A and B are shown apart, each in its own frame.
Chain A
Amino acid sequence: SQTIHQWPATLVQPVGSPLSLECTVEGTSNPNLYWYRQAAGRGLQLLFYSVGIGQISSEVPQNLSASRPQDRQFILSSKKLLLSDSGFYLCAAASGESWDQPQHFGDGTRLSIL
C-alpha cells in the first residue's frame, strides 16, 4: 500500500519569505501526484498535479509553483509568501496504472503566514 510522507507538519512563516514543502511516496511506482490547499472550514482546492517526472499542471494561477524532480517526490514552492497562502497543504498520490484510482493523502502541513 502507498505511504505518503509530508513535512513539516506545521510551519509559521513571515510574509515575503520563501517556501518549500516536500512530499515523498512509498509503495508505488509512477504515481499521479497532487498538491491541495484547504482553508479553514472550506473544501479542497487542487493546486497542481503531475502524471510523471517533470510534468506539472497548474490548476490555479498564483504565486506557488511545483516540481517533480524524481518519480516519487513532489515539491511545492514559493519565492514570496502572501498572507492568503495560509492554509492546510495536502499532498496526495494515486496509482498511475489508470485514471480511476482513489487518492491517498499525506498528513498535511499546516502553514501560517504572519
Chain B
Amino acid sequence: RKEVEQDPGPFNVPEGATVAFNCTYSNSASQSFFWYRQDCRKEPKLLMSVYSSGNEDGRFTAQLNRASQYISLLIRDSKLSDSATYLCVVIAGSYIPTFGRGTSLIVHP
C-alpha cells in the first residue's frame, strides 16, 4: 500500500459546483498535513494546512479524520481558475514530507 494515496481523477465539474477530494495515508504517526495546488508545468504551491479541528479559507475547507486516516479538501462554488492538480502532503515526524500523486480537477463553463 502506498503511503499517501489520492484518486488521480480527473474530476470534471461545471462552474459553481462543489467538489471534494480525499487523501488517505498509511502511517498512523503522521502529524502534519497540507494541501498544495499545482498548475500545469508549474511548481506546487501551498494551498492550506490541515488542522485537527478542520479549517476554512474562503471557498476551500480542509478536514482531517485521524481515525480513518484521511484528509479532505472541499471546494465550493468552483471557478474555472480552480482547474489544477491538488496534492496532499503528509509529514510523520521527520524532515521528509510524503506527497500524494495528485488529483486533477477540471472546471468547465
Binding site for B on A (CB under 8 A): 32, 42-44, 46, 49, 51, 59, 88, 90, 94, 99-108, 110
Contacts and interface: CB of A to CB of B under 8 A. Distances in A.
Interface string B25-41: 00000011010000001
Contact of B31 (A42, A88, A100, A107): A100
B89 interface: yes
Interface of B: 31-32, 34, 41-46, 49, 87, 89, 91, 93-97, 99-102
Given A88-B41, A108-B42, A102 B99 contact: no
A103 B99 CA distance: 11
Contacts of A44: 44, 87, 99
A107 B43 contact: yes
Closest 7 CB pairs of A and B: A100-B32, A105-B43, A43-B101, A44-B99, A108-B43, A102-B34, A32-B95
B29 to A, nearest CB: 12
Given A99-B91, A99-B94, A100-B91, A43 B99 contact: yes
A76 B93 CA distance: 26
18 contacts: A43-B99, A43-B100, A44-B99, A49-B95, A59-B96, A90-B43, A90-B44, A94-B97, A99-B93, A100-B31, A101-B32, A102-B89, A103-B46, A103-B89, A105-B44, A107-B42, A108-B42, A110-B41
Nearest to A50: B95
B96 A46 contact: yes
A105 B44 CA distance: 7
Residue from A44, A49, A106 whose CB has the most chain B CB atoms within 10 Å: A44
A103 B36 CA distance: 10
A51 B31 CA distance: 19
Contacts of B87: 44
Contacts of A46: 96
Nearest to B93: A99
